Amino acid sequence: MPTYLVTGAAGFIGHWLAARLLDAGAQVVGLDNLNDAYDPVIKHWRLAQLERRAGFRFARADITDRSCLDAEFKRARFAAVFHLAARAGAPQSVARPGAYISANAIGTQHVLDACSAHGVEKLVLASTSSVYGASEHLPLHERGDTGRPRSPYAASKLAAEALAHAHHHLHGLAVTVLRYFTVYGPAGRPDMSLFRFVRWIREGQPITLHGDGSQSRDFTYVSDIARGTVAAEPVAGFEVINLGSNVPVALSDALRLIEECLGRKALVRRVAVPRVDVPATWADIDKARRLLGWQPETSLHSGIEEMVRWYEDNRGWARQLALP
């Protein structure tokens, strides 16, 4: 069976992706540095679910340390690398831009170099809808303008994309860049809005809502994202592909769905919209349908129900997670 490297395997999407590869019978080496960019308790929980599985091996390593990467590439022959390790979150990147450049740009260059040095022929690179900035041309197409990032996070992910293209051009490594749109679901990141809303409403705490909640997001369920990421592995050459739901939803409407699933009303505290925020995201997914045979399957209502169910099942410790 093939062996794959998943960087960022203790992360939200990395955890789901590694589980999907294991379900298909593959061997998976999961690499993560388990940093404290958000509460590492949930990272350890995700990792524990993977370490119970046959075919999974964990390597604690940092992609900014090339020697650590080389050690893992020497231990196994990887059929492909799924590179999801990154510093995520636009608001947090404002305070620590250097950490984002180091992890997302320099770290990605190290992964690219390791792939070519050790004979790996395919890299799937996780990117983000944040690279589109506040574009008014909706839905957002892969050929759209990405020249106006609104945060160090977005700029660092654009740098990773550019480095991947340059490496493909110079060394022939096949690269598929996947731009993820507002991923949510069970065991999600505690710095993201839907996780925070579930936690705050369930615990009877006031929620923080940016502005009036009219900004819309293309919420995409994590298992759909994992399925699309696996589907990108056979794609040849260099491609950039959106993965989104293609159904933008106002934040206030998503909040109402969470209230409905929890059977509780939110206590809303409104604050100013951060400068890094964008009014809307909406993915054009025609290319994903054409090249990957992929489209989302999970409605926002169903996905939020699964989020709420996971939170209730894990509430004993999840309610104590630090929220950035």
**Main-chain dihedrals φ then ψ at residue 213, nearest 5 degrees:** 80, 10
Which entry of 153, 184, 221, 311 is annotated as an active-site residue?
153
**Angle subtended by helix axes 107-117 and 66-75, to nearest 10:** 30
- In the DSSP assignment, the letter for residue 296 is -
Measure the CA–CA gap between 176 and 236, rounded to whole angstroms: 8
> How open is the CA angle 183-144-11, to the nearest 5 degrees?
20
- In the DSSP assignment, the letter for residue 322 is P
153 is catalytic: yes
Structure tokens at 78: 């990887």
Which amino acid would we find at residue 172?
A: G
Closest-CA residue to 86 (of 49, 56, 119, 131): 131
Measure the CA–CA gap between 225 and 135, rounded to whole angstroms: 23
Mind telling me the catalytic residues? 153
